[in-house]
């Protein structure tokens, strides 16, 4: 009643509407319920987010357009120089000359004006850009056609003739003897020198009955080991021993070859490509252990050539040459590792001898 007395003739509906709006705005600020807000301010969250993203993208686009226009204006200032005009004219003349107009590109004396530093930098930039584009085209064409792969380069360090005499590559072929041909017997031995020339290549008579010639792998046939040209086993063993004495012997899985020949050789004069750690692979079952790779795989990966292809019989001369080339590729590091082992073992032996004498 007191409020009516103060307001007098003021319309109560207008006052109530004004008060409602004020209190409603206050409730919108203090309440988290979206139903409390007026209908004119309620919009889905997804639409608001889309509008905000559109606004930001429009702003980025306008900024990018302004930057492009600024760069274009700068290049137009540089392109308006006389040297750039001369370049464009020369390129047009040059292209027309290549298309059939054999007249040489004409350059007047008035066009050859002094070149400023800014023009020189612009021309060098244009040339570098054209070079990069041409290189990219060449690379893309190589990828499409599959050509352009660089062959594997084998770098061999030259050594003297005297040093070459200290190296011999060896490979042997076996046949199966005994029950089911499970045991191996020597049937062929091949020796090559540093340059791949054959030093010895002979078939060997087998003193026991052969149950499996393994022809599909070894290439040995009955007429090879039974011919009059086949060597006696003991003569062959003696000859091989005399050839490899005091020399470095290179081969793949030499343990099997020495076992077939019943020969021993100092470990520091042996280079076995199957036991050289950089040539080995990790065991999938035990990652800390190493397994030997096949000679065929090593030759393909390291030398880029194929040996022991499917459907072909093994050739001991070819295998010996492949082992020698593998050794040549890693000779320096390999010999350093062997020298370190020799020095280490010598130091340990001398120390053990001194301790024994002091006692």
CATH architecture of 161-358: 2-Layer Sandwich (3.30)
Q: Are strands 167-177 and 248-251 parallel, antiparallel or unpaired?
A: parallel
DSSP state at residue 149: P
pLDDT digits over 24-54, tens only? 454 444 544 444 444 444 444 566 666 677 7
**Contact call for residues 264 and 237 (beta carbons, < 8 A):** no
For range 275-283, the mean pLDDT: 92
- Torsion angles phi and psi, residue 214, rounded to 5: 55, 45
Task: Using the structure block, give the residue that is written with the tokens 């409390």.
Answer: 36
Report DSSP state, residue 171.
E
pLDDT digits (tens, 9 = 90+) for 95-129: 444 444 444 444 444 444 455 555 555 555 555 55
Quick: pLDDT tens for 203-259: 999 989 999 999 888 889 999 999 999 999 999 999 999 999 999 999 999 999 999
How do residues 85-94 score in pLDDT, each as one tens digit? Answer: 444 444 444 4
Distance CA 194, CA 230 (A): 26
> Which pTM was predicted?
0.57
Q: Which helix (H) or strand (E) holds 184?
A: strand 183-192
Rounded Cα gap, residues 189 and 259, in angstroms: 13
Domain ranges of the chain: 161-358
């Amino acid at each position: 009643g007191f409020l009516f007395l103060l307001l007098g003739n003021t319309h109560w509906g207008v006052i109530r509407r004004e008060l409602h709006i004020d209190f409603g705005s206050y409730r919108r600020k203090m309440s988290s319920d979206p139903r409390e807000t007026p209908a004119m301010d309620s919009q889905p969250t997804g639409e608001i987010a889309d509008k905000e993203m559109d606004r930001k993208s429009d702003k980025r686009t306008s900024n990018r357009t302004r930057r492009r226009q600024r760069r274009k204006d700068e290049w137009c200032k540089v392109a308006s120089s006389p040297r750039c005009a001369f370049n464009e004219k020369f390129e047009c003349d040059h292209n027309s000359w290549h298309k059939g107009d054999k007249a040489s590109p004409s350059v007047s004396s008035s066009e050859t004006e002094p070149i400023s530093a800014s023009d020189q930098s612009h021309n060098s930039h244009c040339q570098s850009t054209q070079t990069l584009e041409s290189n990219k085209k060449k690379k893309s064409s190589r990828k499409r056609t599959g050509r352009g792969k660089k062959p594997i380069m084998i770098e061999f360090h030259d050594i003297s003739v005297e040093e070459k005499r200290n190296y011999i590559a060896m490979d042997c072929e076996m046949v199966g003897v005994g029950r089911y041909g499970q045991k191996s017997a020597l049937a062929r031995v091949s020796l090559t020198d540093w340059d791949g020339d054959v030093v010895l290549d002979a078939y060997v008579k087998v003193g026991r009955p052969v149950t499996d010639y393994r022809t599909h792998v070894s290439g040995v046939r009955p007429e090879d080991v039974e011919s009059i040209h086949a060597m006696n086993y003991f003569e062959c063993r003696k000859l091989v021993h005399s050839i490899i004495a005091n020399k470095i012997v290179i081969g793949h899985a030499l343990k099997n070859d020495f076992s077939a020949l019943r020969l021993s050789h100092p470990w520091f004069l042996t280079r076995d490509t199957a036991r050289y750690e950089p040539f080995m692979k990790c065991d999938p079952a035990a990652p800390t252990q190493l397994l030997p790779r096949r000679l065929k795989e090593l030759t393909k990966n390291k030398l880029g050539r194929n040996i022991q292809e499917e459907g072909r019989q093994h050739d001991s001369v070819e295998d010996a040459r492949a082992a020698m080339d593998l050794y040549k590729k890693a000779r320096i590091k390999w010999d350093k590792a062997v020298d370190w082992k020799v020095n280490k073992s010598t130091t340990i032996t001398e120390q053990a001898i001194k301790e024994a004498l002091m006692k």
